[in-house]
Amino acid sequence: MAVNTEIAQVNLHHAAAASGVITSRFTAEKLGMLLIHRGEVKGLKMETNKVYWDLSSEIPRTCIVVRNNIDFFCISEFLTQDLVAVQARDFEGKDFVLASAYFPGEAATAPPEVVERLMEHCRRHRFPLIKGCDANAHHSEWGSIDCNVREILNSMKEKEAEYGGLFLSWIGPFPIAVVSEPQIAKDILTSPNCVNKSFVYKGVEDATGPGLFTINEPEWSYHRKLLNPAFGHKILLNFIPIFNKEVDHLMEVFKTITDVDGVDLVPILQKFTLKIATQTTMGQNLKHHGSAVDESLLQSFPYVQETITEMGTLSWLSMKAMIWILGDYEQYKRSKTAIRKFIGNLITARTKTLPDQLKLDGNIFINRAIELLQQGRFSRKNVEDESIVIVFGAFETTATTLKHILILLAMHPQCQERAFEEVSSLWPESGSFEMNYSDIQKLSYVSMVIDETMRVMATVPVVGRQLLSDTKLSNGVVLPKGIQVLIDIFNMQRREDIWGTEAHLFNPENFLPSNIDSKHSYAYIPFTKGIRNCIGSKYALLSLKIAVSKLVRNFRFTTDFQYNNLHFVENITIKLKQTPLIRIHKRQM
C-alpha cells in the first residue's frame, strides 16, 4: 500500500508514563509512523500498530511504531539495539527507507558504523533515506558544544585524507567548506569576498561587544584602518621595556616554585600576559599583589575568556541561553560587568586628558582610540568594545603559546639546551638582563622554536569566514555566496605531503631557511595572512621572544609527560585534554 502519512520522532527517556502519552496521541492524531528513542518498547504496542525493535537486545534504544495499514518491511541487516530501518513505498510508488537511529556517546565513531553502512546501502540502491537520529554522541557538526570520544580536528583530518584539501561538511544544518590546502587558504584569505567572519564567532561578541575580531564589512575595514597605526613598528619598540620588566617579574614568581613537583603554568602565564596586555594597550599597570579590584580583574578576564571558549561552537545557537543553562551565568555576567567597568573608568579618565598630553603618553592603543573618539570617528561604545577585544586578543593567545613552548622544551631537552646556548652566547650573564630590538633580531634558534611550536600546536586551530559573494578558487571551484568557510590551520600545518612523514613531531629544524623557504607561503599561518590577519602578530612574537629567551637563560624545564600523549581539543584557542605538569629548575650560571 502506498504511504502518504505523517511521521514523528520523540525521545521518551525510558519513561513509562511518556510511552503511555505517546501511544494515546498516536491514535488520537492519526500518526502513521513514530521514530522512538529510549522508549519502553513493550508499552508502545496497541491494536492499531506494530512496533519494531531488535528483539535480541535487552535494552533497545530505538524502535519504529507503524500503523497496521502501512505496507513495509523491516531491513534485518540494519536491525540493532540502536538502529531500526524499514523500507516502504511512497504515494508515487517509489521505494524509500525510514530509519530511527540512536548515536550512543560511548561509540568509537559518530555516526555509528552501522548507520554509515545503511547510508551506503541506500546510496547504492538509490533509495531516498529519511533518518531520525538522537545524537547522544556529542558532535559540533550537529550543534553540540563538543565531540565526546571523537574530536572535530581528528574527524577533519580523516576527511581531508579521503577528500583532499577542500571538502564540504556541515555545522548543524549549515554547509561549510573546509580548507587545508595552502593555495586555497590563500585564495580565501586574500579575497575581499571572504573578509566577513563566520557566525560561529557570535558568542565572542556576546562577551566583548562588537569589535575588530567579530564585526563585518563595511564596519570592519573602517575600524581596521583606524586601528592599524596603534600596532606600527615604532609603537611596538616602546613596549620592549614593558615586556622586559614583566618577564623579570615572572622570573621572580618562577623562583618561588623551583623544584616543586608538577606546576600548572596556566594561571601564572595568564596573569603575566594579562598584565602586559593591560599596560601596553590600556596604559594601566595591574599590580602583582594588587588591590581587590586588580585581583578580581585578573580573575574576570580568564573567566569570561574560558566561558567564550567553552561555548565556542555553541555560539551560533544562543550564547546567552546556553551559558544560562550550562554555565554559571551570574559569574559570567559579573565578570563581564567588572571588565567593562574597568575599561570604562580608564576611558573616562583618559578622555579628560588634553590631546597634547595623550601624545606625550605615547601612541598606545587606548590613546589612539580616544583620539578617534575626540575626532568623532569612533563612538564611546566603539572605544570600549575595541579596547576589550584587544585585551582579550592579546592575553589568552600569548599565554597559551608561551605555555606550549615551555611544555615542548621540557619534553625536548636537546632543543632546550640549544636555545639556552644561543641565548647565553648573546647574554652571558644570567638574571634580569635587558633585551633590545637589535639583540632580539639575532635570535635564530629561539625563533625557530616559537615557529615550530605554533606549527605543531596551532594556537588558533581554525578560523571561519562567511562569503560575501560567489568566489572562484584557483582550482576552478566556485564557492557560493553565504557559505561558511573553515580554514583548518591545525591539520594544514601537520600535512605529511608538505612537512614530511614526521610532520606530527616537534622539530625546530623545520624552520631552517633551507627547509621553510621551499614551502608554500600559506603552509604555515598561525596568525593567518592576507586581508584580515592578526593585528597583534608582531607584538606577540616580540613579547614571546623576550619571554622565552629570559626564561631558558635562567631556568631549565622538565616534565614526565610524553609528547605522544598530548591530546588536542579544538576551540577558539587550542586546548589540551590533559595539561602536562612542569618542573622548574634554577640554572646555576
Q: Please check whether residue 541 is in contact with residue 511, taking contact to mean a CB–CB distance below 8 angstroms.
A: no
Least distance to ligand HEM, CB of residue 191, Å: 12
Q: Decide whether 11 or 491 has the Cβ nearer to ligand HEM.
A: 491
Q: Decide whether 222 or 427 has the Cβ nearer to ligand HEM.
A: 222
Restricting to residues 520-549, name those near ligand HEM by CB under 6 A. 526-528, 532-536, 539-540
Least distance to ligand HEM, CB of residue 443, Å: 16
Least distance to ligand HEM, CB of residue 71, Å: 54
Restricting to residues 220-239, name those near ligand HEM by CB under 6 A. 224
Is 212 among the residues that bind ligand HEM (CB under 6 A)? yes
Piece of the chain touching ligand HEM by CB under 6 A; list 135-143, 180-188, 391-399, 422-430: 391-399
Q: Decide whether 284 or 397 has the Cβ nearer to ligand HEM.
A: 397
Residue 38 one-letter amino acid:
R
Instruction: Give the containing element (helix H, strand E) for 230.
Output: none
Phi, psi of 361 (to 5 degrees): -70, 0
Question: Using the 8-state DSSP alphabet, how is residue 403 labeled?
Answer: H
Restricting to residues 495-524, name those near ligand HEM by CB under 6 A. none
- Furthest-apart CA atoms within the chain: distance in Å: 90
Q: Which residues contact 58 (CB under 8 A, 6 or more apart)?
A: none
Q: Which of 19, 401, 493, 510 binds ligand HEM (CB under 6 A)?
A: 401
Residue 244 one-letter amino acid:
N
Least distance to ligand HEM, CB of residue 142, Å: 25
Bond from prior residue into 111 cis (ω within 30 degrees of 0):
yes
Is 459 among the residues that bind ligand HEM (CB under 6 A)? yes
Is 195 among the residues that bind ligand HEM (CB under 6 A)? no
Residue 456 one-letter amino acid:
V
**Closest residue to ligand HEM, based on beta-carbon distance:** 536
Q: Decide whether 78 or 220 has the Cβ nearer to ligand HEM.
A: 220
Long-range contacts from 44-52, C-beta under 8 angstroms, 24+ separation: 44/19, 52/79, 52/84, 52/86
Q: Contact letters (x/-) for ligand HEM, 260-299, by CB under 6 A?
A: ----------------------------------------
Q: Decide whether 70 or 185 has the Cβ nearer to ligand HEM.
A: 185
Q: Tell me how many degrees the CA angle 171-314-193 measures, rounded to the nearest 5.
A: 55
Q: Decide whether 303 or 539 has the Cβ nearer to ligand HEM.
A: 539
Q: Decide whether 178 or 463 has the Cβ nearer to ligand HEM.
A: 463
Q: Which of 33, 70, 114, 389 binds ligand HEM (CB under 6 A)?
A: 389
Piece of the chain touching ligand HEM by CB under 6 A; list 89-97, 131-139, 328-336, 393-401: 393-401
Q: Decide whether 288 or 538 has the Cβ nearer to ligand HEM.
A: 538
Q: Which of 435, 463, 551, 552 binds ligand HEM (CB under 6 A)?
A: 463
- Core vs surface per residue 162-197: b (16+ CB within 10 A) or e: eeebbeebebeebebbbbbbbbbbbbbbebebbbbb
Least distance to ligand HEM, CB of residue 94, Å: 46
Phi, psi of 104 (to 5 degrees): -70, 145
**How far from 41 is each of 11, 34, 402, CA to CA, in Å?**
12, 12, 55
Which grid coordinates are listed for 375? 575626532
Least distance to ligand HEM, CB of residue 95, Å: 47
Q: Which of 393, 461, 508, 580 binds ligand HEM (CB under 6 A)?
A: 393
Q: Which residues contact 105 (CB under 8 A, 6 or more apart)?
A: 136, 137, 138, 148, 149
Least distance to ligand HEM, CB of residue 179, Å: 12
| CA nearest neighbour of 336 among 212, 205, 197 | 205
Q: Output the CA torsion sign for 190, 192, 194, 196.
A: positive
Q: With contacts defined by CB under 6 A, how many residues of the chain interact with ligand HEM?
A: 23
Q: Decide whether 197 or 495 has the Cβ nearer to ligand HEM.
A: 197
Question: Using the 8-state DSSP alphabet, how is residue 582 labeled?
Answer: B
Q: Decide whether 519 or 538 has the Cβ nearer to ligand HEM.
A: 538
Least distance to ligand HEM, CB of residue 389, Å: 5
Piece of the chain touching ligand HEM by CB under 6 A; list 237-245, 376-384, 396-404, 440-448: 396-404
Q: Tell me how many degrees the CA angle 354-301-397 measures, rounded to the nearest 5.
A: 95
Least distance to ligand HEM, CB of residue 387, Å: 11
Is 460 among the residues that bind ligand HEM (CB under 6 A)? yes
d(CA 490, CA 461): 5
> What number of helices (H) and strands (E) belong to the chain?
21, 18
Residue 578 one-letter amino acid:
Q
d(CA 367, CA 353): 10
Helices (DSSP H) in 430-566: which residue ranges? Answer: 437-440, 445-456, 489-492, 496-499, 513-516, 537-554
Q: Contact letters (x/-) for ligand HEM, 59-98, by CB under 6 A?
A: ----------------------------------------
**How far from 177 is each of 156, 184, 277, 485, 497, CA to CA, in Å?**
11, 11, 34, 5, 21
Least distance to ligand HEM, CB of residue 560, Å: 27
Piece of the chain touching ligand HEM by CB under 6 A; list 134-142, 389-397, 408-416, 495-503: 389-397
Is 32 among the residues that bind ligand HEM (CB under 6 A)? no
Residues in the site for ligand HEM, rule: CB under 6 A? 212-213, 224, 389-390, 393-394, 397-398, 401, 459-460, 463, 526-528, 532-536, 539-540
